[in-house]
Structure formats: C-alpha cells, structure tokens
Amino acid sequence: MKKGELVFVPFPGVGHIVSSLEMAKHLVDQDHRLSISILIIKMSGFDSPNKSYMQSLGSISERITFIELPEDHKEAQSFRNSNPIQFINSFFENLKPYVRNAVKNLIDSFSTRSDSPTLAGLVIDMFCTAMIDVADEFGVPSYVFFTSGAGFLRLVTHLESQSTHQNKDITEYKDQPDAELIIPGFFNPVPLKVLPDVLLDKEARPLVFGQYKDMKRTKGFLVNTFMELESNMIESLIEDKLIPPIYPVGPIINLNPSQGDKQLGGTDHKEANIVTWLDSQPISSVVFLCFGSMGSFDEDQVKEIAKGLEMSGVRFLWSLRKPPQKGESIVPKEFADLNEVLPEGFLDRTAEVGKVIGWAPQVTILAHPSVGGFVSHCGWNSTLESLWFGVPIATWPLYAEQQINAFKLVKEFRLAVEIRLDYKKSNYNRSDHVENQAEILIVKAEEIELGIRRVMEADNDIRKRVKEISEKGKKALLEGGSSYTSLCRFITDVCFIKYINTDKDRERMDIGKKVVAYKGQSNDSRELNVNQLHLKELGLGSAVDPKDNLL
C-alpha cells in the first residue's frame, strides 16, 4: 500500500517547535505508513532551535526527518523593532520560496526511494498561514496545528466573523474597563481586559483577523486540547459552519525534555541539584514559580514576589531570570548574582525553606511529588503540563493569549486560583520593550501571598478537580479515548481526501466529521467514544479504518 508524507511548518519559537515535534511523534506512532518532514526555520530575535536541538528531544522515529531552511536574508528588521504581527506576516511571505523549494526537493527525492511515498499535505503552525498558498500550489491539503487551546480559537474566530460579516469593531469598547463580550462556547462573559493587546489595536487587529480568515481555507485544525477539558468550546467550533473540521488531539506535551533543555541553559549538574533539593522536601509542600521561556520581571516586582513568599511561609522553588536589555534577544538570561535583584538577606533568611534558580527543568519539577502548586504565566504548554501532573495553578499571565488561558482556568474550568487574570507585560511593541515596563502595575506582596496560600491548600476543591482532569487527559490519549479517536479520524481524512472529487462529496464528508465528533457523547459526560468512521452511513462507501486505506 502507498505511504504518505506530511510536511510540518512550525513557528520557530521553542514552545511551538516542541509541540509540533510531539504531534509528529503521535502521528507516526499511530500509523506506520506515515512519515513526516519538519522544517526548521530561523528568525532573528528568537533563540530558534536548530537540528541538533530537535534531535536531542528524546527518542525520535526514523520516519521523522528535519530540513533546515536557509536564513531569510530578505528579513528587513527584527521582531523586537517592529509590529510583531506585521513582522511575522512579512517574514513568512518572504519565506515562501524557501518552503516551496524544500517541498519540491522532497517530492523529487521520493523517486529515488524504493518505498516512494506520496505527499499527503502540509501541517502549518497557527502563525504560518502564508504556507497555505504553497500547499495549494502542490495540489495538497493544508491543516493548522493550533498550539493553543480551543477556547482561544473559538474567541478569535468568533470576533473575526463578527468583524467580517457584521462590521463589529471591539476596539470601540477599549476605554471601557468593565466591558464584557459574549463568546459562543464560554459559560461566562469574557472581560475585554483579558483579550490580547493585538485584538484591541486598530492597526494590528485586521492583520490577526486576516490570519484567521486564511486558516478557514484549510482542511482542518489539529488543536492541542482534549474534549474533557474544553468540551463546550470544541462543540461550539464544530457547530460553526464557517470553520473547518476540528481535531482535538491533546494533551500534546514532551514528557522527556531533559536533553533538549540542555540546549536552553540546562545541565545535568543543575538538574541533579534541583532534584536533590526537591527530594528533601515533604510531599506536596513546595510551590513552584516559573513564568515561561520569555517571562521575567523588573527589580521592583521581583522584590514584591520575594516579600510575598516570605510572608506565606510556604516552601518554594523559584525560577528567576533577568529581563533582556534593549537590542538583545527577547529571551531572558541568567543573573550573574541573584543578590543584585533580591531583597537584602532574602537568600539567607529563606535558605531552609526555599531555593532560587535560573533555568528550570519544568516537566521534571512538576512531576516531582514534593511540588504541590504552580505560580504560572499560563502559557498553554505549561498549563497542559501542570494539569497532566495534577498540580494546581495560581494564575499570573504575562502576554499573548495567556490572560484568556488564565480566565478559562479560573472562571470556566475552576482548575486554578487567581493571583491576576488581566496582568499584562507588553511584548506587543518590542521597540518600547524597556520603556513600557514603567507602565506595568506592580502586583503587591499581599496578593502574591494570598494566591500562594490558596493554591497550596491541601484539601481544596480545585486540587481535587485538577487530579480528576489529569486522569481524563491521560485517558484521552489511550486507545478508544477522545484524542486517540480524533487522531485516527485525522489520519483517515488525510488518507481519504484524494478520493473526494465533488463539492457534494466534500459537503457530505464535512457532515461526517461533525457526526463523528458527536457520536458517543452523552449530555452529561460529553465524552467522545468513537472507534471508526462509519462512512457507509453517510453514503461514502464502507467504513474506513485509518490502518486500511492510505492515499
């Protein structure tokens, strides 16, 4: 039988790259006739992973290969010194010839291989929509790998649709601090203040909405989430006739990141030192503070965090990194001396109960039994990792869609406690990166102390719910689970799509996807339990198992 090749085009940020690689691993593990080529892209301003970093991320199938693209010398300016959305759009437009050439070379190489696969399609990152045109040029489908959650996808697609079809402009409410939005799939009104800054900016908003319009041209969204976590939001997306099919395939996380972490500042010695300290702490006694690969604070805020930790009396492990200076990469660096930013005597006073570190092996820490709470920026990867290990979160979002993630965790899912929902550390206008810090309101030590105490409560309802959703997330990936089934459905659709030749067939296939998405759900559990596509019921032939038909 024919073999199929997918080309992944991930955004060059570490979180996006790692998620894309894990997604690729799941796909090739699911069907031995699938192979995947991942394009590695370099972008100025980012410490973009290289081929050796990718190969270091645990065990990788021989059916996953990496293609490093040349650096785009047409790039006129860095991410830091421009409107980020405009820069990203321009960057990937300029990158099209390189991607086109890489795909052409890949197809040409098929003729030299005895097992000669067929190009099945492109799987593009949510920021790489320019590559939809490349897929069209080669006559293959494109799919979006959406590395955030279904809630954020539902939010932006709804706002884009209202803007396009009803001429609604949410920026009109920008100066109304208590304004709220009704978003399909959300139980609660969404405060305007938790929206990303780019959606409230008249210049940037059309660029973002343009990306989401382009996404609707694809054949579907692979979303890093699972039905049991975001059922209402996923169902709302499925019901929207303007949105391509939805494949909830998460939680996609890297559970063995230690080798790759060493490329980002980690060492065996550092990790061993951290684990040794955690081993000496009581079970569920330590609160872990970490704000992602780009998270950092100025000195005033650092001192408030330190004060809040001391006031709480809770054992802590704190990942503290130095904000980048103007003209540097946007990724924070290690402090040469922690005493230069911490309150005088803090390290001595807390030596028996706390540890301050720079780089943090986050998965290793969250998996450790001594960790009982996580003060987090609520990046989606970090959120899924914390839920996977059953560690409740205290929310402190910084940028991008993290405020929406925090809102969902606290208000929609009741899986986290709030330190802040609407805190924003501007990374929207990078040219003003340093100057903007003065405009950020300081989170006071008393708020931090309260959040830490609440997240560390031993028997609160949030901790119980987090443990429950942790088990559901793991089951979703097992055979018969919701995400396992969704992944099978995606493979079937990629394999089957070449045989759908008429608009009528496509319409029936879209209906089939929506029927399958709901089949087996009860109103109470909303759990997905579908083992195969019953295409015969839809007039599309006999039932298809993804292992029986490929291209």
* 490 shares its domain with 347: no
pLDDT for residue 331: 81
The answer to whether 123 and 222 are in contact (CB under 8 A) is yes
Domain finish residue from 474, 497, 530: 474
Domain finish residue from 456, 474, 492: 474
What is the C-alpha to C-alpha distance for residues 396 and 406, in angstroms, rounded to an integer?
Answer: 7
* 461 shares its domain with 498: no
* 370 shares its domain with 515: no
pLDDT for residue 548: 46
The answer to whether 442 and 301 are in contact (CB under 8 A) is yes
pLDDT for residue 314: 98
Domain finish residue from 424, 456, 474: 474
* 429 shares its domain with 518: no
Q: Does 208 reside within a domain?
A: no
* 421 shares its domain with 529: no
The pTM assigned to this predicted structure is 0.87
Q: Does 177 reside within a domain?
A: no
What is the C-alpha to C-alpha distance for residues 336 and 111, in angstroms, rounded to an integer?
Answer: 54
Sheet holding 64-68, edge to edge: 64-68, 34-40, 4-9, 118-125, 142-146, 221-223, 246-248
* 314 shares its domain with 411: yes
Q: Does 323 reside within a domain?
A: yes
Q: Classify residue 167 by burial, with Cβ atoms within 10 Å: 0-12, 13-18, 19+.
A: exposed
Say how many C-beta atoms besides its own lie within 10 A of residue 393's C-beta: 28
Q: Does 551 reside within a domain?
A: no
Give φ, ψ of 513 to 5 degrees.
Answer: -65, -40
pLDDT for residue 13: 84
* 317 shares its domain with 399: yes
Q: Does 512 reside within a domain?
A: yes
For each of the chain's 551 residues, which pLDDT tens digit applies?
Answer: 478 999 999 999 888 888 999 999 999 999 998 999 999 998 876 666 666 666 666 567 889 999 999 875 455 455 555 678 888 999 999 999 999 999 999 999 988 777 788 999 999 999 999 999 999 999 999 999 999 999 999 999 999 999 999 999 998 888 887 999 999 999 999 999 999 999 999 999 999 999 999 999 999 999 999 999 999 999 999 999 999 999 999 999 998 865 545 555 556 788 999 999 999 999 999 999 999 988 999 999 999 999 999 999 999 999 999 998 776 667 888 998 999 999 999 999 999 999 999 999 999 999 999 999 999 999 999 999 999 999 999 999 999 999 999 999 999 999 999 999 999 986 444 434 334 444 568 999 999 999 999 999 988 999 999 999 999 999 999 999 999 999 999 999 987 654 444 444 444 444 444 434 433 333 333 333 333 333 333 333 333 444 444 45
Q: Does 190 reside within a domain?
A: no
Q: Does 407 reside within a domain?
A: yes
Length of the chain (residues) = 551
- Domain total in the chain: 2
Q: Does 188 reside within a domain?
A: no
* 35 shares its domain with 99: yes
- Say which CATH number the domain at 106 has: 3.40.50.2000
* 430 shares its domain with 533: no
* 57 shares its domain with 120: yes
* 28 shares its domain with 158: yes
**3 state DSSP class of 288:** strand
pLDDT for residue 177: 79
* Residue among 219, 31, 260 nearest 122 (CA): 219
* 51 shares its domain with 158: yes
Give φ, ψ of 361 to 5 degrees.
Answer: -80, 85
Q: State which residues form the domain around 301.
A: 264-474
